[in-house]
Amino acid sequence: MSTAITTMTEVVTRTASPSASASADRAPPQGGVLEGANPSEFDPHNPIILFIIQAAIIIIFCRLLHWPLSQLRQPRVIAEVIGGILLGPSVMGRIPGFQAAIFPTVAMPELNLVANIGLVLFLFLVGLEVDLRFLVSNWKVAVSVGLAGMALPFGLGCAIAWGLYHEFREEPGLMPINFGVYMLFIGVAMAITAFPVLCRILTELKLLQTDVGVIVLSAGVGNDVVGWILLALCVALVNTGSGLTALWVLLVCVGYALFLVYAVRPAFLWVLNRTRALQDGPSQSVIALTLLLTLSSAFFTGIIGVHPIFGAFMVGLICPHEGGFAIKVTEKIEDLVSALFLPLYFALSGLSTNLGLLNDGITWAYVIGVISVAFFAKFIGATLAARVNGLLWRESFTIGSLMSCKGLVELIVLNIGLQAKILSQRTFTIFVVMALVTTFITTPLTAAFYPPWYQKKVAAWKRGEIDWDSGLPIDSDNASTRNSVAYEKLESSKIQKVLVYLRLDNMPTLLAFMSLLGGNPEAAVPKTHPSRQNDQDASEAYPTETEHVERPVLAHGVRLVELTERDSSVMKVTEVDEFSIHDPIVNTFRTFGRLHNLAVSGEVVITPESGFADSLLSAAGRHSSDLILLPWTETGSMSEAQIISSDSVRHKLETSAYTSFINNALNNAACTTAVFINKNFGGSATGTGKDRPRFSRTRSASSLHSSAAEKTAAPISDRSHHIFAPFFGGVDDRVAVRLVLQMAENTDVTATIFHFETPASYFADDDRDGGDIAPIAEATSSSSPLKPTFTTPGKEASTTATPATPAPSEKDAVFISSLRASLPASLSSRVAFSSLETSTPFADALAAARREVGQQPRNAGDLIVVGRGVGRASAFGREEKEKERDGGEAARCLGVLGERVVRGVGGASVLVVQARGVE
């Protein structure tokens, strides 16, 4: 019996054991939360679930923090570090169970791995961003400012390192390192400057093209490179433990750097030229090769005892900037790095920061001491070096403030120190607070030391235009003379310098309009083949020096590119001169202008969208422009989208962002400004223009259908334009009429100038002179047959016994009669003057415009030119209120008449002119 029981027990045991084993090895529930699994529990075989939770919390938290900080013009790294601090043990970590559930210790290696991959890629991007050409071209001032900006903080950092070393060296988790290595690390942490953050601050404050910006950028490049080299040496000393091994590591690093420069870079350039990556942009294979070089270099520097980020940084340095290659590579990978990887890395820095460790007086004393040394040592050193190089004191203070910025580079250095166990968590927290404070105060200090008004004063003083002490023009004795003829020049002189806002969506119509300002080109000289032309014939084929050649209009095109948060956008700013040379839009404008009797130049300006108007006005001031030409958007937005819908064209006046931009430009312009609203001018495809004749062919049953053939437009046989200019009076209308007569010098242009005479009580005096423009005093001008002679009001008063200051209506009548009387014969056959006494001028003007334009439906487009006359809005409200709808923002921007003409008159583009005199 006992034997049977024993046998049965063995059988049951053998049967149950495999079942127990199978139960132990059973796969996790595949139903996930449907089977009751907790997604926040860390599973080492499936860590992706908890990682997604961590990443989502970090990214959302940092983005929410960035919005209020961005209003203070703070870089995103501030939000990312503060977000990590709030998620760490300082705040959220105090909630019971939060850190164990979301950031458990066992899950940190996976998060740390992903963050460090992002760090390697980010240091590669930093290397791409560092353009050594700045250092080479400005090496003298860069060396002096950079050296002084590193030497003083490095020395004072070594001094405070003595106290930090002896106060906190007994804390747990530190490696037993000697004071020399510790001192070297603290000195580097004090001396480093955040080059990427520096670029963004300079760009946002519009200082990158100033002397201050060039000096800071050049010094920052050298500071960055030297700082990384010293940090590499420091890490090598920590990892090796012996001076001899550290020397070998340093020599291997130097040899590897030379290998990259003289072996890898030439081979890489050969591949890029072979694949046309420099000309056409990097392909996916070239990007893969570049990333493989980055990871391989990071692997090599990692295995020889230097941090892997140095290898990635060096590969970024050797990548070429020719053809915008560095920018195009950055554009391919920067979004993933900056949107995902970097927030994780800097949030990890915050998670390692425990503000609760700053819990006694001596610790806070060192916090204040470290912040003071880091800021004032940098500030004083860079300021004195800049002053020695001849800069003004406020310029020098600005350079000192900028060079004291620590930013994300400092945090990378601190994390390396924490990982290498050079810094304890307490000292790490002290330095993180220092990095946040120095980065936070950089922008407000720079804005305070170097405000826009001071920048303008410095620029004018350096050009020799003003006296520094008084701020008055150097030839101030002639100021009253200039002011007395300012309005005379405004009304009687032709436009000589035009600044044009170049937009991709408006290029066809802009080019057609600019051709009218070129006048008539010189008569073509019959050409002879060079082989049959002797020297005498060649000399006679061109104008001699004694022949009179009319001065062409100078046209300067400005293309505005929005500055975004992307690093590639900031890199474009540093290489903006090369962009201006090779930009296809600017070059198209240059070529077209030269072919149409214009002297042309152009540039690309990269600025935040909020600064578009200021950038245009600054460019107009630099070029002393007489006229700023602003095209109205065709896309319905500020962006230059290449796909333009018919709906957006129909509603382009409803765009509040573009209306705000135009208003900003008009309200702050110091010269005449014109807004061009296209309606098929020049035969463009956009707008509500006329149907153009098209080529057509008869198809047989065997013909292949070709949609391209059906859409082919025939050449414009009638190249004429008709211009209609309603004249009510005031400085805006007078300048508009002068511009019409200048365009009418082109033999393809005909014009009608229609004077609407209104009762004296219809317009207020300030309305008739453009609202905020003071009444002008016409003066005699006889320098050109195309410049009519104006009657001086004072002289007229002495002979006709009229008041010294005539009524606005009388001034306008004198202006029109002077134009009519002095019109040269070359224009008399193509320019007609009409007048009408009316009490409803706007309604009559709209009716006359509808009659005048569109009479030649197959010509190159008609144009209506009106003065802005914003001050007449109240008067228009009295005219047939019940029949007119409110013009809204467009009426306040373009003027009531301008808005009504755009909406109510088809078949003609509109040019709204606003005059500005010399103040």
Cα-based angle 534, 536, 537 (whole degrees, multiple of 5): 70
CA nearest 787: which of 839, 746, 748, 823?
A: 823
Q: What is the pLDDT of residue 487?
A: 40
Which residues have CB under 8 Å from 723's CB, separation 6+?
740, 743, 744, 749, 750, 751, 752, 862, 863, 864, 865
Tokens 């500020």 appear where?
A: 638
List residues bridging with 721 in a β-sheet.
749
Please report which confidence band the pLDDT of residue 537 belongs to, taking 50, 70 and 90 as the band edges.
Answer: low
Q: Does residue 76 surpass a pLDDT of 90?
A: no
Strand partners, 605: 560
- pLDDT for res 753: 92
How many CB atoms within 10 Å of residue 103?
Answer: 23
Give residue-wise pLDDT tens across range 136-157.
Answer: 666 777 778 888 888 899 999 9
> Which tokens hold the place of 829?
């056959």
Predicted pLDDT of residue 8: 52
CA distances from 219 to 139, 252, 533 (A): 8, 27, 58
Mean pLDDT of the chain: 77
Domain segments of the chain as ranges: 139-331+357-450, 492-519+551-642+651-671, 679-684+717-762+807-881+890-918
Q: Which residue has the higher pLDDT, 911 or 707?
A: 911
pLDDT digit string (tens) for 183-198?
A: 888 998 888 887 777 7
Side-chain-facing half-sphere of 87: CA atoms under 13 Å: 30
* Torsion, CA 286, CA 287, CA 290, CA 295, rounded to 10: -140
Is the pLDDT reported for residue 7 higher than 60?
Answer: no
Total length of the chain: 919
pLDDT > 70? residue 367: yes
pLDDT at residue 531 in the model? 64
Summarised one tens digit per residue, pLDDT across range 505-514 is: 888 888 888 8
What average pLDDT does range 12-17 have in this prediction?
50
The better pLDDT of the pair 31, 598 is held by 598
For domain 492-519+551-642+651-671, give the CATH superfamily: HUPs (3.40.50.620)
Q: Which helix (H) or strand (E) holds 580?
A: helix 576-582
Query: What local confidence, expressed as pLDDT, does residue 559 receive?
Result: 92
Q: What is the pLDDT of residues 724-738, one digit of tens each?
A: 999 988 888 889 999
| 46 phi/psi in degrees, rounded to 5 | -145, 65
What average pLDDT score do residues 836-861 get? 85
pLDDT at 532: 62
242-289 pLDDT, tens digit per residue, is 667 777 877 888 899 999 999 999 999 999 999 988 888 899 999 999
Closest CA to 219 of 255, 195, 245: 195
Nearest-angstrom CA–CA distance, 828 and 576: 47
Q: What is the pLDDT of residues 26-49, one digit of tens each?
A: 555 555 667 666 777 777 778 888
Mean pLDDT of 779-784: 33
**Which pLDDT belongs to residue 535?**
53
Q: Which of 142-156, 288-302, 372-386, 532-546 has the lowest mean pLDDT?
A: 532-546
Domain with residues 139-331+357-450, CATH architecture: Up-down Bundle (1.20)
Tokens of 688: 């509500």
Residue 615 or residue 780, greater confidence: 615
Alpha-carbon span 676 to 902, nearest angstrom: 10
Question: Averaged over 866-879, what is the pLDDT?
Answer: 61
Other CB atoms within 10 Å distance of the CB of residue 835: 14
**Who wins on pLDDT, 710 or 504?**
504
What 8-state DSSP symbol labels residue 853?
Answer: T
Q: How, if at all, do strands 908-914 and 672-677 pair?
A: antiparallel
- Could you tell me the two tokens for 530? 């060079």
| pTM score of the predicted model | 0.73
Residue 882's pLDDT band (cuts 50, 70, 90): very low
Tally of CB atoms within 10 A around 580: 18
pLDDT of residue 793: 35
End-to-end CA distance of the chain: 123
Residue 886 confidence (pLDDT) above 60: no
**pLDDT higher than threshold 90 for residue 629:** yes
Coil, helix or strand at residue 373: helix
User: Taking the CA atoms of the chain, what radius of gyration do you get in angstroms?
Assistant: 36
**Torsion angle (degrees, nearest 10) of CA 256, 261, 267, 268:** 100
Give the Cα separation of 48 and 110 in Å (integer).
Answer: 9
The answer to whether 492-519+551-642+651-671 and 679-684+717-762+807-881+890-918 have equal CATH topology is: yes
For 38-58, b where at least 16 C-beta lie within 10 A, e where not — what string? eeeebeeeebebbbebbbebb
Angle between helices 211-240 and 393-403 (to 10 degrees): 30
Name the residue among 116, 135, 460 with its Cα closest to residue 308. Answer: 116
pLDDT at 784: 35
Domain spanning 679-684+717-762+807-881+890-918 has what CATH number? 3.40.50.620
Q: How confident is the model at residue 647 (pLDDT cuts 50, 70, 90)?
A: low
- 244 three-state secondary structure: helix
pLDDT, residue 291, reads: 95
Cα–Cα distance for residue pair 153/373, rounded to 1 Å: 7
